[in-house]
Structure 1
Amino acid sequence: MAIKNNQVISMQYELKVNGNLIESNLDGDSIEFVFGSGDIVPGLEARIIDMNEGESKDIKVPAIEAYGNYDENLSEIVPIEEFKGIDLQIGMILEGENENGELFKATVSDVTKENVTVDYNHPLAGNDLDFKIVINKIV
């Protein structure tokens, strides 16, 4: 039985970017999500619709259908004084709230004596995603 909207999918996966393993649950518990609800990467969801229970597949999702292309305009230089009490490290993920109270994450990409460069792009933006997918159950 192929996947349809609003069905609960139990799935295992492995995610690689440029040949590097990012995460995997192939040796662990499946994840569950409702197909069509936007809970997984759009390009992945579009590519598993024809899969059946028990099927496995290697899937490449282009960056634009995953976390989007990298946008240099989503980087900002902020005075270091705004980070008092934080031991800033390059690669550190910061969490905050915007003016509307919405949560966001940013990655520290540079630290100088005066400024901190923060990047609001998703850490995987600009990367094609290589998945190995196993559909365990469709309900």
Structure 2
Amino acid sequence: MAIKKNSVVSMFYELKDANTNEVLESNLYSQPISFILGKGQILESLEEEVMKLDCPSNADVVIKKEKGLGEYDENAVQTLPKEQFAGIDLKVGMELFGEGENGETVRVTVKEIGENDVTIDYNHPYAGRDLLFSLNIVDARAASEDEILTGIIAGSHSCGCGSGHGHDHHHGHGHGHGHGGGGCCGGGGCGCH
């Protein structure tokens, strides 16, 4: 079956840094992720590549940083008073989600924890990297009208984003800073933003 916009696609993937071959994410030993093409549930540039494929198929796809998550931006690192994180057991490397200036969800990574302040990074963890996706498309079908309207796949509890990426923490801290990142799946998994 040809894959096109508004297809529900299920796939296994392994995501590597294209330059170092470091494995960044994988669901090869888990369940396939499922998403609706054209709904922004995975990176737009990855969507474009998936739409060139048929189901079933295997493919290796390189997404250059310019078309993926962009360059690493040193200006997207901010130091905030530690009291803004009261009640959170902070750890270096922890990912937090909050609200940006325009109400959008922003993802930050804790870089440093000082005595009185916390340094957070608004860059996506894979910013500045060329990404190599090894894809195994296992299912594709036309989305129903309800699925197209809601962006939610029938029988699922989410868009499938973040499957197999189990260290996201949602704490709802708005820091009024608008650097957002895209990413595999809005919080992890497969390039969503």
Which TM-score applies when normalising by structure 2?
0.64
Classify the secondary structure of the residue corresponding to 2:66.
helix
- Matches of 1:100 and 1:35 in 2, distance apart? 25
1:15 aligns to 2:15 (yes or no): yes
Q: Number of aligned pairs?
A: 139
Instruction: Give the letter for the 2:6 counterpart.
Output: N
Structure-2 change in CA distance of 1:9 and 1:82 (3 Å) = closer
Instruction: Give the letter for the 1:40 counterpart.
Output: I
Instruction: Pick from 81, 84, 93 the counterpart of residue 91 of structure 1.
Output: 93
- Matches of 1:114 and 1:28 in 2, distance apart? 40
Instruction: Pick from 124, 127, 149 the counterpart of residue 125 of structure 1.
Output: 127
* Displacement after TM superposition at 1:51 (Å): 0.8
**For 1:2-81, what aligned pairs fall within 5 Å after superposition?**
2-17=2-17, 18-81=20-83
Aligned Cα root-mean-square deviation (Å): 2.0
Which TM-score applies when normalising by structure 1?
0.85
Structure-2 change in CA distance of 1:101 and 1:134 (3 Å) = same
Q: Determine the structure 2 residue equivalent to 1:108.
A: 110
Structure 1: unaligned runs, 5 residues or longer: none
Classify the secondary structure of the residue corresponding to 1:63.
coil
- Matches of 1:80 and 1:116 in 2, distance apart? 5
Measured against aligned partners, the alpha-carbon deviations of 1:6-50 in whole angstroms (never above 9, x if no partner) come to: 111121111112312122122332111111121111121111212
Q: Which has the higher strand share?
A: 1
Q: Determine the structure 1 residue equivalent to 2:139.
A: 137
- Matches of 1:120 and 1:15 in 2, distance apart? 21
Taking only the aligned residue pairs, the percentage that are identical comes to 43
| Contact kept in structure 2, 1:43 and 1:62, CA below 8 Å | no
Once structures 1 and 2 are overlaid, which stretch shifts more, 113-122 or 128-137? 113-122
Which has more radius of gyration?
1
